[in-house]
Chains A and B, each alone.
Chain A
Amino acid sequence: MALKVFLPSANGDYTELNRGFLDKPLLAVTGKGGVGKSAVAAALALRHARAGRRTLLFGVDSIQPLLRFFECPTESSQQVDVLPNLRCINLDRQLLLDEFIREKIGLKLVSDRIIQNPVYKYFSAVAPGIRELLALARIHQAVTAGWPGGTPWERVIIDAPATGHGVRFFAVPRIAINTFRVGPLKANSLRIKELLEDPRQTAFCLVTLAEEMPVSETLELYDHLVNQMAMRVEAVLVNAVYPVAASAVVDPDPAGAEPAGDPLYTRLLEAARFAQMRREMNERYINVLAQRIAVPLREIPYLADEQFGLAALDQLLAAIFDSPTPSSGVRG
């Protein structure tokens, strides 16, 4: 007999998500690039908007990926009402800085001269974190003062920059407090830092893949946010976990595993074996995360994304909130 097949049980372990994951006014979704961060941020925003909460979803430097999920035209608009109760805004860091100069200076003639000045351009390009700080200042305004529009937003979600850059993004207020010792930037930094560190107001959600590099980066990011920056991570979502229907144990003797006669059978077995190998690898890294991270983990199955729109967001939401995650029994 070549192949032993085990059928996974339907009841895996299931950890309740913390209430804080959904209840806080500000949620920052972050993680390494390419792990599906934007999809998760969009799905969570969709859930809030459907529940009737006025929701603001921020992209940093780009909202094209977000607009795609809401099936909106992805032309370069900075602000789009994608659904009732849901607005997407792009935080373009250079534009924000120009805006800030205009607001603070007041006189158009003077502010225009500054903005067009090469020294200003150079300064703004190299000034440590100044653009990030202004992006965060907008987020702060959205949470506390209902920017834009004046009516308070009930939920603000950030599709935050990818890891390496992401840590720096949220660390900017702390660095800035030391750099800008006076002036409006200093005052801004203090306010933002307070908001980000306030466990009643801000939650972080990390998105990762169950693979070596994303997991090690997620562990670093988690440690950085929680232990060094005193921020509150409420959930870790493990995306693109490979779905398996069968858990096959392949006979170590390859001669025995070769099904006779039909080349299709060989390819079917190869596909099943591939799924099994990916799944086992995923399980290994989920175990690593579960051992090292003290917040609820949820698995999101790998989704084929030919038409990655609202339907895909629904599938994501179902995976995060509705069904217990089936486990093939590697864990526990």
Chain B
Amino acid sequence: MGFQTLEQALERKHTLVFCGSGGVGKTSLAAATALHGALRGKRVLVVTIDPARRLADSLGLEELGNKAVAIDISRLPGAENGGSLHAMMLDMKTAADELIALFATSEERLQQVLHNQFYKTITESLAGSQEYVAMAKMYDLIKRPEFDTVVIDTAPTKYALDFFEAPTRMLDFLDTKIVGRFLRPIKRLQRFGWDIFRKGSEKIVEQLEKLVGLNVLSEFSAFIIEFEDMFSGMRDRSQLMHGCLQDGNQTILGIVCSANASSVDEAIIFARRLQELGMPLGFLIANRVHRSPFITAEDRDRVWSLLNDESALANLAPALGVDHEQSPAAAVRSLLTDASTAHRFARADQFHLRRLREEAGASIPLATIPFLDQDICDLDRLFLLGSFLFDPPRSTT
């Protein structure tokens, strides 16, 4: 049986957001979910904003751009249901430029912003404002009529929080009257020059100038002024996006983690934070969980006693189908050792999964995905990964 929560989410929700720290397989799971949605007949878009280009790798694509790329799913079961899968990797720089173009009041303003040194550095480095852009861009994608379902793979945890808090922070900033009070002197400054401004004006700007230099501050003020026109548009956008994310009817959020100490720690913190932010956290997925070869304590005891019995080991070789002419006992011992190791790893994983269940919110459904023996690097492996979450696609035709 599939993971009911996600099965239903694919059926009923429009936006599925996958969060989690880096290296837990979040991108692959988001893509696998999108793939299974497509095989159920949905028109699905999967978006990643993770700077690591993992989704592209998972889908066997050379490179994703800000354009949605169609993935050929025709040879997979369920393709006949008429769904489609598109993938997109958000390039922040391009997304920012597109956004600015959307809100710019004139071509001249647009060019001024695009050539502002401050704007350039900001959009090229990861200094926090990228999350505003990502958020706003997501809104565009969610509203695209050509997709039934949008699956979003967010940036690793800390940055994902920025991503969710971006609209609030931006609104806080835009709301303050003080911004207006600051923009005015800076505006005057643009007209009359720094000297006049500095004589009678705010001590704070003067102090900042000492710290960072005149050119930076003047670029910054130009940036703010050029941006001012666009603020109201961006503000509306922020509010809408925040509303979308919080709307449990349209949106479901999930956290992906591995079953180890640090990943589970981060997942717990993140789960609590999302709940505080009023976000509809709907599922947890523990990825790469070891399976123990021992189902019962008796299995374990049998293997452990065998490991201490040289003649029993040798006798076991034919039953296990082990072929080792010189030392059948040693060969069997090695196999049993590997099995015991797997058991040890599985036990450690279960310890952390219990913590996750208890501390992230006992009411949130948790799915576990086994540790697979290979990387997820093509569509077939992605389908296989998804089959741990979803029932096989049924033909509806």
Interface set of A (CB-CB < 8 Å, partner B): 1-5, 7, 32-35, 38, 61, 64-65, 68, 100-101, 104-105, 110, 113-114, 117-123, 125-131, 162-165, 168, 172, 175, 179-186, 209, 211-214, 216-217, 243-246, 248, 251, 256-262, 264-265, 267-278, 281, 302, 304-306, 308
Please classify the interface of chain A as helix (H, G, I), strand (E, B), loop, or mixed, using the class held by over half of its residues: helix
Interface residues of B in 195-253 (CB under 8 A from A): 203-204, 207-208, 210-216, 220
B351's closest neighbor in chain A, by CB?
A: A306
Q: Which of chain B's residues have a CB closer than 8 A to the CB of A217?
A: 52
CB distance from B342 to the nearest CB of A (A): 4
State whether A33 and B156 are in contact (beta carbons under 8 Å apart), knowing that A5-B323, A119-B182, A270-B293 are contacts in the complex.
Answer: yes
A268 contacts B336, C-beta separation under 8 Å:
yes
CB distance from B284 to the nearest CB of A (A): 17
CB distance from B299 to the nearest CB of A (A): 5
State whether A180 and B216 are in contact (beta carbons under 8 Å apart), knowing that A5-B322, A128-B122 are contacts in the complex.
Answer: yes
State whether A126 and B128 are in contact (beta carbons under 8 Å apart), knowing that A275-B342, A304-B347 are contacts in the complex.
Answer: yes
Interface residues of B in 149-173 (CB under 8 A from A): 156, 158-159, 169, 172-173
Per-position binary interface string of chain B over residues 110-137, scored 1 when its CB falls under 8 Å from any chain A CB and 0 otherwise: 0000000110011011111100000000
* 6 sampled A-B residue pairs with Cβ under 8 A: A128-B122, A163-B22, A246-B338, A251-B321, A268-B335, A269-B335
Per-position binary interface string of chain B over residues 371-388, scored 1 when its CB falls under 8 Å from any chain A CB and 0 otherwise: 101110100000000000
A64's closest neighbor in chain B, by CB?
A: B265
B341 contacts A275, C-beta separation under 8 Å:
yes
Count of chain B residues with a beta carbon within 8 Å of a chain A beta carbon: 85
A211 contacts B263, C-beta separation under 8 Å:
no
Q: Which of chain B's residues have a CB closer than 8 A to the CB of A212?
A: 57, 375, 377
State whether A34 and B21 are in contact (beta carbons under 8 Å apart), knowing that A114-B204, A213-B52 are contacts in the complex.
Answer: yes
The stretch among B76-84, B254-262, B356-364 that forms the contact with chain A is B254-262
State whether A33 and B179 are in contact (beta carbons under 8 Å apart), knowing that A123-B220, A129-B127, A245-B337 are contacts in the complex.
Answer: no
A4 contacts B23, C-beta separation under 8 Å:
no
The stretch among B63-71, B139-147, B326-334 that forms the contact with chain A is B326-334
A281 contacts B374, C-beta separation under 8 Å:
yes
A271 contacts B320, C-beta separation under 8 Å:
no
Q: Which of chain A's residues have a CB closer than 8 A to the CB of B125?
A: 128-129, 168, 172, 175
Within 8 Å by CB of B373, from A5, A126, A269, A277, lies A277
B344's closest neighbor in chain A, by CB?
A: A304
Q: Which of chain A's residues have a CB closer than 8 A to the CB of B1?
A: none
Q: How far is the CA of A281 from the CA of B375 in the complex (A)?
A: 8
A306's closest neighbor in chain B, by CB?
A: B348
Q: Is B101 an interface residue (CB 8 A)?
A: no
State whether A268 and B373 are in contact (beta carbons under 8 Å apart), knowing that A117-B204, A119-B204, A185-B213 are contacts in the complex.
Answer: no
Q: How many A-B residue pairs have CB under 8 A?
A: 241
CB distance from B256 to the nearest CB of A (A): 11
Q: Is B193 an interface residue (CB 8 A)?
A: no
A243 contacts B341, C-beta separation under 8 Å:
yes
B212 contacts A127, C-beta separation under 8 Å:
yes
B215 contacts A181, C-beta separation under 8 Å:
yes
CB distance from A301 to the nearest CB of B (A): 10
Q: Is B297 an interface residue (CB 8 A)?
A: no
Q: How far is the CA of A100 from the CA of B293 in the complex (A)?
A: 56
CB distance from A120 to the nearest CB of B (A): 7
Q: Which of chain A's residues have a CB closer than 8 A to the CB of B122?
A: 126, 128
Q: Which of chain A's residues have a CB closer than 8 A to the CB of B156?
A: 33, 162
Within 8 Å by CB of A127, from B127, B299, B303, lies B127
State whether A34 and B24 are in contact (beta carbons under 8 Å apart), knowing that A110-B203, A245-B337 are contacts in the complex.
Answer: yes
B23 contacts A114, C-beta separation under 8 Å:
no
B176 contacts A118, C-beta separation under 8 Å:
yes
CB distance from A6 to the nearest CB of B (A): 8
A246 contacts B337, C-beta separation under 8 Å:
yes
Per-position binary interface string of chain B over residues 263-302, scored 1 when its CB falls under 8 Å from any chain A CB and 0 otherwise: 1010000000000000000000000000101110001001
A7 contacts B334, C-beta separation under 8 Å:
yes
Within 8 Å by CB of A302, from B118, B345, B347, lies B345
State whether A272 and B339 are in contact (beta carbons under 8 Å apart), knowing that A183-B212, A245-B333 are contacts in the complex.
Answer: yes
Q: How far is the CA of A251 from the CA of B299 in the complex (A)?
A: 25
B119's closest neighbor in chain A, by CB?
A: A126
Q: How far is the CA of A257 from the CA of B323 in the complex (A)?
A: 11
Within 8 Å by CB of A269, from B294, B321, B351, B377, lies B321
B215 contacts A168, C-beta separation under 8 Å:
no
Q: Which of chain A's residues have a CB closer than 8 A to the CB of B212?
A: 127, 130, 180, 183, 185
B337's closest neighbor in chain A, by CB?
A: A245
Q: Is B324 an interface residue (CB 8 A)?
A: yes
State whether A3 and B323 are in contact (beta carbons under 8 Å apart), knowing that A213-B52, A306-B347 are contacts in the complex.
Answer: yes
Interface centre among A61, A100, A213 (most CB of B within 10 A): A213
Q: How far is the CA of A131 from the CA of B126 in the complex (A)?
A: 11
Q: Which of chain B's residues have a CB closer than 8 A to the CB of A181?
A: 213, 215-216
B321 contacts A126, C-beta separation under 8 Å:
no
Per-position binary interface string of chain B over residues 30-49, scored 1 when its CB falls under 8 Å from any chain A CB and 0 otherwise: 00000000000000000000
CB distance from B374 to the nearest CB of A (A): 6
Q: Which of chain B's residues have a CB closer than 8 A to the CB of A261?
A: 319
Q: Which of chain A's residues have a CB closer than 8 A to the CB of B215?
A: 181-182
CB distance from A276 to the nearest CB of B (A): 8
B258 contacts A185, C-beta separation under 8 Å:
no
Besides A100-B211, A246-B331, A259-B319, 9 other A-B contacts (C-beta < 8 A): A5-B322, A117-B204, A118-B182, A121-B173, A165-B51, A165-B159, A179-B216, A180-B213, A271-B343
CB distance from B241 to the nearest CB of A (A): 18
CB distance from B158 to the nearest CB of A (A): 7
A264 contacts B204, C-beta separation under 8 Å:
no
A242's closest neighbor in chain B, by CB?
A: B341
A33's closest neighbor in chain B, by CB?
A: B22
Q: Which of chain B's residues have a CB closer than 8 A to the CB of A304?
A: 344-345, 347-348
Q: How far is the CA of A265 from the CA of B54 in the complex (A)?
A: 37
CB distance from A236 to the nearest CB of B (A): 17
B265 contacts A65, C-beta separation under 8 Å:
yes
CB distance from A190 to the nearest CB of B (A): 14
Q: How far is the CA of A186 from the CA of B211 in the complex (A)?
A: 10
